[in-house]
Amino acid sequence: MKKALLTIVLLSFGIWGCSENTSITAPEKSDSQQSFLKVTASSSSELMKKSVSETIDGEDGGMIKIRIGRKEIHAKGWLDFPEDSFEGEEKISIRLAEDFAALDFEPSGIPLELPALLTLTFSGLELEGYDEIEDEIEFQYIDEDGNLKSVDYETLIVKRDRGRVTVVRAELKHFSRYGFTK
């Protein structure tokens, strides 16, 4: 009887520990991932342009035009590098973060002497159901420890009825994931 009871208990713990709802087999989403605004669902996401790349000479400065996505879900704007922002030439890549109103900037190891200035409009966001959303949305980045950190910027504009947010002249002092959070 004791062996049967012990077997049942061990099987129960084994089944519970292997279920998808436990953190033993599936880590929970980080707070930073849960905080980024979500884009609206789309069945044809594989048809959209997901990145843009350009070689920039850091001593001369330059600008990358950003047009990523498609009509319903897209990021438009530019990333401006002032003169002497970094040494040498680098191929800069900007990639749309899947399912979120965020962009990944690479390569991550470039030391920026002067911040790059990002002006970006992100459209196709799920903004219904928020009250006073203008006070809740921020533009932030993920630091090396996975924490969200605020970014200095000139203006943040939220158009709730259009599912659109804009940040003007956000200061990117390094490259990582930057995006709109709630």
Burial of 124 (0-12, 13-18, 19+ CB in 10 A): buried
Q: How far apart are CA 69 and CA 166, in angstroms?
A: 16
What is the CATH code for 36-181?
2.60.220
Q: What is the pLDDT of residue 108?
A: 84
Q: What is the pLDDT of residue 38?
A: 77
Q: What is the pLDDT of residue 18?
A: 47
Q: What is the pLDDT of residue 179?
A: 95
Q: What is the pLDDT of residue 136?
A: 80
Q: How far apart are CA 108 and CA 104, in angstroms?
A: 9
Q: What is the pLDDT of residue 49?
A: 75
CATH 2.60.220 in the chain, residues?
36-181
**Residue 27 phi, psi dihedral angles, 5° rounding:** -65, 145
Q: What is the pLDDT of residue 180?
A: 93
User: 123 near 163, Cβ under 8 Å?
Assistant: yes
Q: Residues of the chain whose pLDDT is less than 70?
A: 1-34, 40-48, 128-135
pTM, full prediction: 0.76
